């Protein structure tokens, strides 16, 4: 972003009151223990989990985003908000139905998956054409998963994911649906949710940062862990003691508890505290590698400079 644009952003950068982190899941089923929500307030204090006894449903998260979100909230969703585009000037090169921007991509995925329950996305990854671009379970790697052998078989990456690598993270391709660390299913189900918002909530940077009100951003919880003094390889926190050390490094009050903690809960808690600290950093809203075209097609991960 040009220096003039950065200066204008700095002069207009607004303040948020609430910071919400959502650790997401693309798994099958109605409710998911892995979907975890934490919230922090601008005035300080410890972040707090917002729990559901039987786990959150994706439809419930959508309802919160549309209807029950606190005013003036920065909401981080731990998923990819688009697929790679910049490397081939298309999401699905060679397919005449390939969308031209992120919002059209969301609409396409949602239309194909209209009959899939619980905002899942199985119909899209099993689509007779789209499946050629994904790596799926059972050794089913589509012939277009890695264009021209890119990334040593790791698949295609967005510009923001290359920038994640530069700060020590180890991203996975959103076209990869295999392995414990894959983010493809989460991202595709998340895109259905983003489409269902239907403009009720802006999604930065696909939508511009609004002057007031709430906004959704893509997060990568490893970035919060790194900011809190962890390494990317040890970003997962599984005890209250480690969590409170990380929170202290972010200037946050500790949470109550001792012993083991679920790493989805710790991811959400530490990321809510990190969003509170990071939201006022103008450089994170004006990353050097993000052009307008990239913002509209691939989006960006908040926190990647």
Task: List pLDDT tens digits, range 131-176.
Answer: 999 999 877 889 899 876 565 578 999 999 999 999 989 899 999 9
- In a domain? residue 63: yes
pLDDT at 187: 96
- In a domain? residue 284: no
pLDDT at 221: 95
- In a domain? residue 74: yes
- In a domain? residue 22: yes
- Domains in the chain: how many in total? 1
pLDDT at 27: 84
Say what the pTM is. Answer: 0.93
pLDDT at 152: 56
Structural domain including 22 reads 17-78+219-278
- In a domain? residue 240: yes
- In a domain? residue 117: no
Q: Which long-range contacts (C-beta less than 8 Å, at least 24 apart) are formed by 54-57? A: 55/31, 56/31, 56/32, 57/30, 57/31, 57/32, 57/118
| Nearest to 47, CA basis, from 55, 58, 61, 36 | 36
CA distances from 96 to 63, 90, 99, 108, 126 (A): 34, 10, 9, 13, 18
pLDDT at 74: 98
- In a domain? residue 226: yes
Judge residue 107's burial from the number of C-beta atoms within 10 Å of its C-beta, 0-12 exposed, 13-18 middle, 19 or more buried: middle
Positions of the chain with pLDDT under 50: 1-4, 7-8, 10
- In a domain? residue 248: yes
């Amino acid at each position: 972003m040009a220096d003039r644009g950065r200066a204008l952003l700095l002069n207009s950068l607004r303040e948020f009151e609430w910071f919400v982190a959502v650790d997401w899941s693309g798994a099958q089923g109605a409710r998911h223990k892995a979907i975890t929500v934490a919230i922090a307030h601008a005035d300080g204090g410890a972040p707090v989990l917002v729990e559901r006894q039987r786990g959150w449903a994706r439809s419930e998260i959508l309802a919160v985003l549309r209807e029950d979100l606190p005013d003036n909230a920065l909401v981080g969703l731990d998923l990819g908000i688009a697929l790679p585009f910049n490397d081939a000037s298309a999401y699905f090169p060679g397919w005449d139905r390939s969308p031209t921007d992120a919002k059209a991509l969301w609409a396409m995925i949602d239309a194909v998956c209209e009959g899939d329950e619980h905002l899942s996305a199985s119909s899209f990854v099993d689509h007779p054409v789209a499946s050629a671009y994904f790596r799926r379970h059972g050794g089913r790697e589509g012939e277009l998963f890695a264009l021209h052998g890119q990334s040593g078989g790791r698949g295609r990456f967005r510009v923001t994911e290359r920038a994640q690598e530069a700060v020590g993270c180890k991203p996975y391709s959103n076209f990869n649906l295999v392995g414990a660390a894959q983010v493809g299913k989460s991202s595709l189900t998340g895109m259905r949710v983003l489409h269902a918002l239907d403009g009720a909530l802006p999604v930065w940077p696909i939508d511009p940062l609004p002057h007031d009100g709430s906004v959704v951003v893509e997060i990568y919880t490893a970035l919060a862990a790194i900011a809190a003094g962890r390494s990317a390889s040890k970003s997962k926190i599984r005890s209250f003691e480690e969590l409170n050390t990380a929170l202290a490094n972010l200037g946050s009050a500790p949470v109550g508890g001792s012993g083991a903690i679920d790493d989805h809960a710790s991811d959400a808690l530490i990321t809510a505290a990190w969003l509170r600290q990071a939201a006022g950093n103008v450089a994170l809203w004006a990353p050097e590698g993000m052009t307008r075209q990239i913002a509209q097609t691939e989006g960006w991960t908040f926190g990647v400079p």
